[in-house]
Amino acid sequence: EQTQSTDEDGRTDVEKLDKEYVFGTWSYQSEVEPTEIVGGDGVRFRDAHENEWIDFSGQLMCSNLGHSADAVADAIAEQAHEGAYFAPGFATEARAKLGEKLAEVTPGDLSKTFFSTSGTEAVEAAIKIARMYTGKQKIISRYRSYHGATAGSISVTGDPRRLMAEPGVPGAIKAPDPYAYGSTLEPMESLEYIDEMLMLEGDTVAAILVEPVVGSNGILVPPDEYLPRLKEIAHDHGALLICDEVMAGFGRTGEWFGSDVFDVQPDIMTMAKGLSGAYVPLGATIVTPEIADHFEDEMFCHGHTYAGHPVACAAGLAAIETYQEENLIEHASDVGDYLGQRLEELADAHPSVGDTRGVGLFRGIELTKDPDERVPFGEREDKISTGSTVVDDVAAAAADRGVYIANMINTLIIAPPLTITEDDI
Ligand code: PLP
């Protein structure tokens, strides 16, 4: 953990090797300049240039337990020693107990889980399950959404990251969003629009797929009555409701799941990120008993080598036990309220802060050129991630002060580990 020698460009050996041999995600390779990280502890981490950072976004809104959750790390090591991997056809204690635990913490009677290794895969499985269960093919999702990067999940993604992959898989249809600050439609009007879409699509829609609280597309919290009414609309038209809880799940909103904020039980729920607290890659798709029963007599044609990987499941189980034992969901709700109050002060104090919004420890600061007219900073034309470079500049200025904040589309995304204290906020 000592400071390392650097070359004339200020790069450490690791940074040089990484740049040369690793394909960067979502980027022009020429622009990739990764900073070497040497360790993490709680809500903080350290780089190889002697800087300490406070993690105000939980990395990619996934490090919900912070960077030193020993119980999870120990469970990983223990399982790896006991037996790292057995094929999905075998039962392991870690997988069985994690399945039981997910049935306990997820809403209502959601109870049978398909395991995978990422949010993307969790969404792919949800799409396939919904199609097979309903016998219909179309999926309605919304424009301001992200559901993953593979063929199906990028096709149901609404934000500009989908554009490079278009036209994508057939049957992915986009609807407007509950975006009170920036949309011409009021949130509840956008819902009636979806009702009409379903009517016009006839009996061909398998599911409506939404993030209950939108994450990377700007932390959009719908009105209380939105999600219950969306479920009603879906069911009126013979479609399922899929809630993508990959980012909103596991305490992020101050409840176990974003769906719980609105007291709604979806038919299918996807999870990843906080499921293992980001200690290992783990995704999950949980369904109701009715949907599970359907596959008693129809083969579920889907699976991955690492579905239900024992090490990942052991980590997931230890992570959920940590949320429970340390009362982290309640804590997130309490400190989240405090964070919300402080952000409101910022909204009043700074002319470029257009809106601050969110719930629990899932909050956003939307920047604006003109708070009265709500004019966004200019669209960036050379990137498929939309937004302006201004929000990048703000995030970079925060980074210079040792504060790590993710951003997208004119919005700074504040989603620290749930263990954060009021002092750190
Ligand atoms: N769904 C949502 C709501 C997400 O926020 C993400 C990732 O950010 C995904 C799906 C995809 O998850 P992953 O990156 O683990 O594949």
Look at residues 47, 59, 44, 52 and name the one whose alpha carbon lies nearest to residue 420.
44
pLDDT digits (tens, 9 = 90+) for 274-316: 999 999 999 999 999 999 999 999 999 999 999 999 999 999 9
Helix, strand, or coil (residue 364): strand
- Phi/psi for 150 (5° steps) reads -80, 175
Helix, strand, or coil (residue 209): strand
Q: Output the pLDDT for position 329.
A: 98
CA 125–ligand 1 middle distance (angstroms): 13
- Stretch 245-271: mean pLDDT: 98
Domains and CATH numbers, the chain: 35-68+327-414 (3.90.1150.10), 70-325 (3.40.640.10)
- Decide if the complex's ipTM is over 0.90: yes
Nearest CA to ligand 1 atom 13: 119
| Owner of token pair 């299918």 | 268
CA 242–ligand 1 middle distance (angstroms): 14
Cβ neighbour number for residue 393 with a 10 Å cutoff: 13
CA distance 192 to 194: 5
- Nearest atom in ligand 1 to the alpha carbon of residue 214 is 3
Cα distances from 373 to residues 60, 155, 181, 352, in angstroms, run 31, 33, 11, 12
Look up residue 278 and give its amino acid.
Answer: A
**Residues 6 or more apart from 25 whose CB is under 8 A from it?**
none
Q: Which of 146, 259, 413, when mutated, tests ligand 1's pocket best, judged by the most ligand atoms within 8 Å of its CB?
A: 146
CA distance 344 to 250: 25
CA distance 382 to 370: 23
- Nearest atom in ligand 1 to the alpha carbon of residue 123 is 10
- Nearest atom in ligand 1 to the alpha carbon of residue 283 is 15
pLDDT digits (tens, 9 = 90+) for 13-69: 999 999 999 999 988 899 889 999 999 999 999 999 999 999 999 999 999 999 999
CA distance 64 to 257: 13
Q: Which two tokens stand for residue 122?
A: 């969790």
Longest dimension (CA), the chain: 65
- Stretch 140-158: mean pLDDT: 97
Helix, strand, or coil (residue 156): helix
Between 114 and 1, the higher pLDDT residue: 114
Q: Which two tokens stand for residue 232?
A: 């009603």
pLDDT digits (tens, 9 = 90+) for 58-111: 999 999 999 999 999 999 999 999 999 999 999 999 999 999 999 999 999 999
Q: Is the pLDDT of residue 370 over 90?
A: no
CA distance 111 to 270: 12
Of 254-268, 288-302, 368-382, the one with minimum mean pLDDT is 368-382
CA 158–ligand 1 middle distance (angstroms): 13
Mark residue 408 as left, alpha or beta (left: phi above 0; alpha: psi -120 to 50; beta: remaining).
Answer: beta
Q: Output the pLDDT for position 382.
A: 45
Q: Output the pLDDT for position 387.
A: 59
- Nearest atom in ligand 1 to the alpha carbon of residue 121 is 16
Whether the upstream peptide bond of residue 167 has omega within 30° of 0, thus cis, is: yes
CA 222–ligand 1 middle distance (angstroms): 19
CA 120–ligand 1 middle distance (angstroms): 6
Of 37-41, 155-159, 180-184, 377-381, the one with minimum mean pLDDT is 377-381
Find the helix or strand (DSSP H, E) in which 173 lies. strand 172-175
Q: Output the pLDDT for position 379.
A: 60
- Nearest atom in ligand 1 to the alpha carbon of residue 60 is 8
CA distance 240 to 209: 8
CA distance 89 to 83: 15
CA distance 387 to 182: 13
CA distance 187 to 198: 17
Query: In terms of DSSP H, where are the helices of 264-380?
Result: 289-297, 310-325, 328-349
CA 161–ligand 1 middle distance (angstroms): 12
Q: Is the pLDDT of residue 4 over 70?
A: no
Q: Which of 60, 120, 216, 253, when mutated, tests ligand 1's pocket best, judged by the most ligand atoms within 8 Å of its CB?
A: 120
- Name residues contacting ligand 1 (CB within 6 A): 118-120, 123, 146-148, 211, 215-216, 244, 246-247, 272
Find the helix or strand (DSSP H, E) in which 242 lies. strand 240-244
CA 246–ligand 1 middle distance (angstroms): 6
Q: Output the pLDDT for position 371.
A: 86
Helix, strand, or coil (residue 112): strand
CA 119–ligand 1 middle distance (angstroms): 4
- Stretch 365-393: mean pLDDT: 75
- Stretch 403-412: mean pLDDT: 93
CA 409–ligand 1 middle distance (angstroms): 16
Contact 172, 206 (CB under 8 A): no
Q: Is the pLDDT of residue 347 over 80?
A: yes
Alpha carbon of residue 198 to chain centroid: 26
